[in-house]
Structure 1
Amino acid sequence: MENDKKQPLLSSKVTTSDTTFNADSKDVPPITGVRVFSREFYREFKKLWYLAGPAIFTSVCQFLIGAITQVFCGHVSTIAQAAFSVEDLVIGLFSFGAMLGMGSALETLCGQAYGAGQIDMLGIYMQRSWVILNITALIFMVIHIFSQQLLSLIGQAPDISKAAGTFSIWMIPKLFATAINFPISKFLQAQSKIMVMAVISAVVLVLHAFFCWLLMLQLGWGLVGAAVVVNASWWVIDISQLLYIFSGTCKQAWSGFSWRAFQNLRGFVRLSLASAVMLCLELWYFMALIIFAGYLENPEVSVDAMSICMSILGWAVMVATGLNAAISVRVSNELGAGHPRSAQFSLVVAVISGFLMGLVFSLILIITRDKYPALFSTDKQVRDLVNELTPLLALSLTINSVQPVLSGVAVGAGWQSVVAYVNIACYYILGIPLGLILAYKFDLGIKGIWWGMIFGTVVQTCVLFGMIYKTDWNNEVSTVKERINRWGGDTSHEQMKSKLIE
């Protein structure tokens, strides 16, 4: 990424590696005052939320598959809830984050190819990602099989390690379901076909809640029932989305299976790994809170309380993830179409929307801090600790409603490698060490760890703002053209020019 020259919204030209020509009328006009800003803000707000609304609903529904299961586990036993939480937020999140990150490479490639008119490449990209993610799932399956030993190695309590290790093996089918699901999601998102994902997720969520109640509580299957229902839910989502794609609704984007999926795999792997590292460093950062909670006094209570807080934070982040998906699609589509100002203005609208949502969520938590913990646990110690941690949770909610939006811009523009280094520095060199110092040196316990990690997130968010502010958005259009050529599309100068003036 070249970012030595900031691109203002007042510019009206697009630069490619071949020539310079005026941006078409579909790009955002120069912002010359409050009236123009308000008009364009409203237009972009509608475009963004046309994507973000269904995307948020889909993200929340899919997240609730795990959250509802966790609630039922809490009514089975404390050890069942701890086992589910450790598997879901440590072992599961480790593999989930890696494969979601690798799948997010499609947000860059599919979104930019779609914006440039190279729609036939979307199906090829999805198939390449299937190959890579299923191979990755085979590797992570080993971690699931030996998760009990790994959890014991890092010092988790023996009873939690044993229960979580057994449950982790039962969750292997979900591992391969996500390897299929993530590329499908990015494939559909790039084409703005998000409503079908929302409908499928909603239906599956209702069925999931019913069968959790039936198998886990009424039939007494406990954790076995949780594994059966979670695995089945994810595979039903996959099969339903595949039937939608294969039915011909995606037209030019899906023309059937092709051997081209096995071409350029090495380069595709590199981009996928960069995306995985960027996202995993973010997800694993919060996973560390659960791990460190297991080292404190009374680990079952600490782990349960932190898992509840992370679950709530995850709900809000899922809403921000919907905005992440929407802004990634908007930025990649607009850059692919040669609209630098539109890409830049989409960011402004998304950041404002994310901040306001985070603020609302935080206020709701503060107001209900004496009541909502009872929804997650019957243990008084756990409820009291969650109540005590609520102010930190509210602050994290506000920050993490903006940060995913900035990450979505980075994915849409293809900056994954750069952001990965930023995440390493902010999260693992600043955030976690500071948190450990506050926790153990200053005896602040889990609060100290959380304060340190909040500091790391704030620094990372500020760095991303700085990167975006200095970006030459005209140059990003040229970079997109080169990237699509490299990955098999055809974006000759005449095609790009016709796309911009049609």
Structure 2
Amino acid sequence: MEDTESIEKGLLLEAASKQGDGFTAFTFPVFCEEVKRISYVAAPMVFVNLSQYFLQVISLMMVGHLGELALSSTAIAVSFCAVTGFSLLYGMSTAMETLCGQAYGAQQYQKLGILIYTAIFCLILACFPLTLLWLCMPKMFIAIGQDPLISQEAGKFTLWLLPALFAYATLQPLVRFFQVQSLIFPLLVSACATICFHIFICWTLVFKFGLGNFGAALSIVLSGLLPNPKLETSVLSVCLSTLSTLYAIPEGLGAAASTRVSNELGARNPNAARIAVWTVMILTAFETAIVSLALLASRNVFGYIFSNEEEVVDYVRIMAPLVCLCLIWNSFEGVLSVFHG
């Protein structure tokens, strides 16, 4: 009787392992194999995410050399629009990583088309109330005590960003659609073309056509309450732009992990999904250590990328350790947040 039960248990375990439910030890060879799978998606996605952040960062880099007013007004407008608009749309689009990823893993391809059209429609719909909010931005900033001159300039900049809001609402579902299928080449091509075009058009509009920070907007924090609003906003813009740009690396890792996990769960392979989670966390730890140390080592010079003002560069150097701490926290939080679905 005991032999019969042992045989039955053995058969059940064998059947479970064939279905992907068996337990696989997290050994070094398994880790290396999972690194290859994640890197195939993560490396291109890091570049794609960087190209999107670079659209704003390049604009700030060029506008920053026009003076503190141009840099501070552009920075506060970009920060406001990122928090209330672009980040909101990005967060809404991440639901597709779970839904589309599992549908693709389960080979339910018809659902992919339905999900992407629904996502685009919902995100564009969300753009209309956001547009009204952006139009009221100058009055809101002045009402809470922001510098009036910075508020007015930021408001003008925001008007030029409105078309980008609707474009972003269409872009993000398309990125998720290709990402969950590991179709990275179209994303790489479009990212390379966009960033090359943006550098040229931004330089032309800002310096050749004399449009200043409005040209930078066309090409794509409550700091005004501080004693020196132009200086403080400029310093914060450099720090926040650095953080947002470097955040693209763990964001790409998280996107790759989300694709792997959702695909494996859709294919009923929970053990493979577990291995993917542990692998990406180890990769994030290594990446965060390297990037934060490099940032700390270059704290005396990277401020010059955004501004020629010595005072701005000095304050950026003082803020560098805090930026490194924020980077470490954001990296782990960013990767872990993709597993909420």
TM range (shorter): over 0.9
Which residue in the other structure is 2:127 paired with?
Answer: 137
Contact 1:23 1:338 in 2 (8 A): no
* Alignment partners' CA distance in 1, 2:135 and 2:330: 32
* Alignment partners' CA distance in 1, 2:70 and 2:97: 36
Identify the match of residue 75 of structure 1 among 55, 61, 65: 65
Identify the match of residue 144 of structure 2 among 135, 151, 154: 154
Identify the match of residue 303 of structure 1 among 201, 212, 233: 233
Give the helix-richer structure, 1 or 2.
Answer: 2
Deviations 1:358-397 (A, max 9, x none): 1111111121111111111111221111100111111222
Which residue in the other structure is 2:94 paired with?
Answer: 104
Which residue in the other structure is 1:194 paired with?
Answer: 184
* Alignment partners' CA distance in 2, 1:27 and 1:174: 45
Shift of 1:26: 5.7
Residue identity in the other structure for 1:343: A
Which residue in the other structure is 1:346 paired with?
Answer: 276
- Name the SS for the 1:117 alignment partner: coil
Q: Mark the CA change 1:333 to 1:57 in structure 2 (over 3 Å): closer, same or farther.
A: same
Residue identity in the other structure for 2:337: S
Structure 2 residue 85 is matched with structure 1 residue 85: no
Shift of 1:398: 2.0
* Alignment partners' CA distance in 2, 1:13 and 1:182: 43
Contact 1:91 1:147 in 2 (8 A): no
Structure 2 residue 16 is matched with structure 1 residue 22: yes
- Name the SS for the 1:401 alignment partner: helix
Residue identity in the other structure for 1:111: G
Deviations 1:99-148 (A, max 9, x none): 11111111111011111111111111010111111110011110121111
Contact 1:108 1:332 in 2 (8 A): yes
Structure 2 residue 289 is matched with structure 1 residue 362: no
Which residue in the other structure is 1:243 paired with?
Answer: none
Which structure 2 residues correspond to residues 445-456 of structure 1 after superposition, within 5 A?
none
Identify the match of residue 95 of structure 1 among 61, 74, 85: 85
Identify the match of residue 403 of structure 1 among 315, 321, 333: 333
Shift of 1:215: 1.5
Which structure 2 residues correspond to residues 427-446 of structure 1 after superposition, within 5 A?
none
Identify the match of residue 46 of structure 1 among 36, 40, 47: 36
Name the Cα RMSD after superposition.
1.9
Which residue in the other structure is 2:53 paired with?
Answer: 63
Contact 1:28 1:345 in 2 (8 A): no
Shift of 1:25: 6.4
Deviations 1:403-424 (A, max 9, x none): 21111122xxx1xxxxxxxxxx
Which residue in the other structure is 2:107 paired with?
Answer: 117
Which residue in the other structure is 1:337 paired with?
Answer: 267
Residue identity in the other structure for 2:116: M
* Alignment partners' CA distance in 2, 1:352 and 1:301: 39
- Name the SS for the 1:110 alignment partner: helix
Which structure 2 residues correspond to residues 169-180 of structure 1 after superposition, within 5 A?
169-180=159-170
Which residue in the other structure is 2:322 paired with?
Answer: 392
Shift of 1:94: 1.1
Structure with the greater relative contact order (CA < 8 A, sep ≥ 6): 1 or 2? 2
Shift of 1:28: 7.4
The TM-score with structure 2 as length reference comes to 0.92
Shift of 1:225: 1.6
Q: Mark the CA change 1:352 to 1:227 in structure 2 (over 3 Å): closer, same or farther.
A: same
Shift of 1:153: 2.2
Structure 2 residue 313 is matched with structure 1 residue 383: yes
Shift of 1:29: 4.8
Which structure 2 residues correspond to residues 307-318 of structure 1 after superposition, within 5 A?
307-318=237-248
Residue identity in the other structure for 1:200: S
Contact 1:313 1:397 in 2 (8 A): yes
- Name the SS for the 2:24 alignment partner: coil
Shift of 1:41: 0.2
The TM-score with structure 1 as length reference comes to 0.64
Shift of 1:228: 2.2
Contact 1:316 1:358 in 2 (8 A): no
Shift of 1:57: 0.7
Shift of 1:345: 0.9
Gaps of 5+ in 1: 1-11, 15-20, 231-289, 415-502
Contact 2:97 2:258 in 1 (8 A): yes
* Alignment partners' CA distance in 2, 1:295 and 1:23: 61
Contact 2:35 2:279 in 1 (8 A): yes
